[in-house]
Amino acid sequence: MKICIFGSGAIGGYMGVRLHQGGADVSLVARGAHLAAMKQNGVKLITDEGEDTVHPTCSDDPAALGPQDYVIIALKAHSVTGAIPSIKPLLGPDTAIVTAVNGIPYWYFHKHGGDYEGRVVESVDPGGLQWKEFGPERAIGCVVYPATEVVEPGVIKHVYGDKFSLGEPDGSSSDRIVKLSEALTAGGLRAPVLDKIRDEIWLKLWGNLCFNPISALTHATLDVITSDPETRAVARAMMLEAKEIGDRLGVHFRVDVERRINGAGAVGAHKTSMLQDLERDRPMEIDPLLTVVQEMGRMVGVPTPTIDVVLALVKQRGEIAGCYTRTTRPEPAEQPAVAAQ
């Protein structure tokens, strides 16, 4: 089984180490000092149990790696479209693409059924390029729960979590998804195969869409956002708007709003990824976590007044900091659907 991790930073590198330890033929695509360190010294993983170093193939030339059985895309979601030309040499006739990205994936309305079947989500797939160039039929959903960080080039520290939930767009337990789950499990990870992966996507997005922008605007950690009555109320309002959108799309939320907020607060004095990106002058994931919810609200006819205000503020904050560029402007709901391929 040949698996390429495209975007082998904190999460991708962690997956790569674990898959390599489980016996998979893994290659890691990275760049810069991180790549140089991995090629020279291997990939070091630091956990509570100690340190492990493995030596998978590492490259910045996907064409040299050839077609894979699986390509796990572990980039920030806003980076995927620009990486399409580099990813395509990794794709053979039967290569699966595993979308280990935050937010709504490009394939969301593939095998969805109903009025929105085959619809392109512009906020995460401008112009439908991923849909056209990859094809939605390749996609396997993946919801990432671990927290990891690159503490120095070639060295990844595991903070918490080991679950990567998997799901086919049509909810089936296909041969390819079962084999991928087995490969991840062999490396010591939890990789449940879910029949409703969209529910899991929304459960994670539900928190990200509010806590990330609020933290970027206030610089508060999760414990502060969730314990302060006023910011907690903003988060709750955003989540209730999102829940109505999800409800209209057939999503089942297995926990209620208060429990989801309390769960985030229990993480403690944690800086969200968007706040970390802002502080480190890195591109902020605004569109895949927030603009996409606004777009889907317009699609199904649900007003999003609180989301609209927070989105306007965090976009401007990102632009002023040089961490965000407005590249997508979602079309109104009457946009014609794109036929499934």
Active site residue 204: yes
Alpha-carbon Rg for the chain, nearest whole angstrom, is 19
Classify residue 115 by its DSSP letter: G
Q: Annotated catalytic residue: which of 88, 111, 157, 204?
A: 204
Query: Rounded to 5 degrees, what angle do the CA atoms 307, 258, 165 make?
Result: 80
- On whether the CB atoms of residues 186 and 22 are closer than 8 A, the answer is yes
Backbone phi, then psi, for 243, in 5-degree steps? -65, -40
**Which is nearest to 253 in space by CA: 196, 191, 194?**
196
Question: Tokens 């995460």 sit at which residue?
Answer: 124
Report the alpha-carbon distance of residue 332 to residue 207 in Å, rounded.
Answer: 25
Q: In Å, how far from its chain's centre is CA 217?
A: 21
Report the alpha-carbon distance of residue 142 to residue 121 in Å, rounded.
Answer: 18
- 102-112 b/e with 16+ CB inside 10 Å = b? bbbbbbbbbbb
Report the alpha-carbon distance of residue 73 to residue 91 in Å, rounded.
Answer: 12
Question: Tokens 């895309």 sit at which residue?
Answer: 73
**Strand 139-144 vs strand 91-99: parallel, antiparallel, or unpaired?**
parallel
- On whether the CB atoms of residues 141 and 105 are closer than 8 A, the answer is yes
Q: What are the DSSP E strand ranges found in 50-180? A: 50-54, 57-59, 68-73, 91-99, 139-144, 147-152, 155-160, 164-167
Q: Which residues are catalytic?
A: 204
